[in-house]
Structure 1
Amino acid sequence: MSEHVVAYGALQPRPDKVQTLSVSSSGIVGQVWIQIGQRVKKGQRLAEIILSPEAKMQYLQATNAVEYALQQLKRSKRMFEEKLATMADVENATKNLNDSQSTLNALLERNSAQPQETIFSPIDGIVTQLNLVRGQRVQSNDNAILIASENHIVARVGIEPEDVNRLKSNTSVIITPVFNDSVHVSSSISVINGMVNPSTRLVDALIDIPLSHAKNLVLGTPIVANFSLENYTSLAVPNSAILNDANGYFIFTLKDQIAHKIYVIKGSEEGKLVAISGDIHAGEKVVVLGNYILKEGMLTREEKL
């Protein structure tokens, strides 16, 4: 028999393949050309930010500061040649110019010289988060958009805390979409967290989805993960033989056509068989049909199936 651990979860973007796009300068959202869940191409326009007057003023101030620092450096050099200033004065003027130029360069990288900023997609991917609405006021460095690579997917599943020690980082697993059991993806655990998720009370685990399957799967799909543990030898009965009541699982065995109720411990399932342990031995006859009407000591009639 094969022992299994079953867990449920959903397909998510691989965390290290998600890119966060931020707003470079404060302003107002002018246009938004995308929506959550949309596939986008590298270089595609995503949104437009109209820069605020304050951002434009910062650019003008930085430009003026560079021009002033340049004039001061020229003046210090001239005075140094006339022996009216020291080398320290020239070095300070050079430093001021470099600092002012660095500030201006940073603003240029943020497109502060333009009346608007256009955000482009850096990769082919899927928009998983959108924090922009037309007319919304945004600030510099606000997180605007999350884009996940559509070909790098993981299954995030929740494992019962008592089962965590039975699993290892390389334990094999079969991933199956809940609503499409014809798809089976073979993989292994890549990460098992070391704490309980406070919202689910389960321990999260990540399972990489191979690229060959990732392109045919959709983010957010609910899945079931079947982890295969070590094989073991056990007595087994057809799953139709097992019943349960308030005291636990039980089966009926036959001896001289008399039914005997025996409580057992139920193990893992393999196909149509269920592993059991208890006061039972190999070769005993087990009732698999009509057992729900039997009682201890009841006389039965045996029929071969």
Structure 2
Amino acid sequence: MAQDQPTAQDGPIAQVKTAPAQRAVIAPKTVVYGTVTLSQESQTVLSLPYAAQITRLHASAGQTVHRGDVLFVARADPGAVLVAEQARNAVVLARGEVERTRVLLAQRLATRSQLAAAEKTLADAEQALAAQRQLGADTGERPVRAPHDGVVVKVVAAQGDRVAPGAVVLQLGHTGAAVPVRVTLGLDPALRRAVPVGAAVAVTSLAAPAGASSAPLTGRVRRVQAAINPQSRLVDTSVELAPGGGADLIPGEPVRGVITLTGGEHWVVPRLAVLQDAKGAHVYQVEAGHARRVPVQVRVDDGAHLGVDGALQGGQALVVQGNYQLSDGMAVREVGQ
């Protein structure tokens, strides 16, 4: 018992604070940066099914629009208008031919097969006209309206441009609490294999007013690209925020992400417990009232704690304060004893 209580004969007695030495699973974290983006499934591509000219453009990138707002006005190309007019004329002619054949049949001057052929021609002409009407090509200008509330992500065409059938004029993104918010983060290529799909991510906006503080938004890694972005030289990593999170974020807003990587089981110690000198990293444990130096290897750093490997003893207290003054075998007394 007397061995556990250092005395003046032991030399200087250091006052220290201790904590239990514990083994647990600890995961490293990495800090990355990126922007708020819209997923492909939450975007609507607006185009025209016929050749046309954009006569007026009312939308610009980043603009918030509501359902029914006019985004642009287009005038069909004369060639597209001609095709629609020909379809209308074909229906008129086919109807006349059906009526004429019916009269001739009544006079026994035409056969039923001729009438069936005329009716078939009319049906084909009506289908062609219906298709042209669905395309919408007609004389005059046609306004194209927003199909839903959202934000204009990209405007491809300019006012006065002539666009081909099916060419993208602009992209419109869905917005609102019901739409999952995505964040694209730039990951160091060396860490690509260390970030599993489903890894937890804490996201914080970098556009918040100075002095404002808010809890980080939680999310999960949805996809890690298998190629390096040629512009950023990083690997694009898609993160989907938890439902309802990030409703106030806007596309393009810069963010900071903290990704929790795959971890392992180690001795988990406070950062201040680990010291470094010429002999390497080490900690001190209390054994029979004296400090025992234990060399360690730092394996994981999660910011607040370190995961270390070494010959630590689970039943011995770990020095977390006052360790900078210790040497191996020095007498110690825990504060409060």
> Could you tell me the TM-score, scaled by structure 2's length?
0.70
Corresponding residue to 1:83 among 108, 125, 128 = 108
Work out which of the residue numbers 183, 194, 202 in structure 2 matches 1:174. 202
Equivalent position SS for 1:97: helix
- 1:71-118 CA-to-partner distances (Å, cap 9, x unmatched) read 122223233333333333323322222222222222223332231121
1:273 is matched with which residue? 305
Q: 1:155 aligns with which of 151, 160, 183?
A: 183
Q: Which residue of 1 aligns with 2:227?
A: 197
Residues 161 and 203, structure 1, Cα contact 8 Å, conserved in 2: no
Aligned partners of 2:292 and 2:133: how far apart in 1?
A: 87
Supply the distance in 2 between the matched residues of 1:119 and 1:84 (Cα, whole angstroms).
51
Structure 1 CA distance, aligned partners of 2:75 and 2:249?
A: 37
List aligned pairs for 1:4-23, cutoff 5 A: 4-6=28-30, 8=32, 9-23=34-48
1:35 equivalent among 45, 57, 60: 60
Instruction: Flag structure 1 segments of 5+ consecutive residues without an equivalent.
Output: none
- Contact map agreement 2:273 2:321 (CA 8 A) in 1: yes
Q: 2:281 aligns with which of 240, 250, 261?
A: 250
Offset at residue 217 of structure 1 (A): 1.1
The alignment covers a number of residue pairs equal to 293
Judging changes above 3 Å, is the alpha-carbon distance between structure 1 residues 47 and 254 closer, same or farther for their aligned structure 2 residues?
Answer: same
Structural mapping, 1:1-305, within 5 Å: 2-6=26-30, 8=32, 9-151=34-176, 152=179, 153-157=181-185, 160-165=191-196, 167-168=197-198, 172-178=200-206, 180=208, 182-189=214-221, 191-192=222-223, 196-199=226-229, 202=235, 204-211=237-244, 213-226=245-258, 234-240=266-272, 250-251=281-282, 262=295, 264-269=297-302, 272-281=304-313, 283=317, 285=319
TM-score with structure 1 length normalisation? 0.76
Structure with the greater alpha carbon radius of gyration: 2
Partner secondary structure for residue 236 of structure 1: strand
Compare relative contact order (CA 8 Å, sep 6+) and give the higher one, 1 or 2: 2
Distance 1:220 1:244 in 2: 43
CA distance in 2, matches of 1:107, 1:97: 15
In the TM superposition, residue 273 of structure 1 has moved relative to its aligned partner by: 2.1
Q: CA deviation at 1:7?
A: 6.4
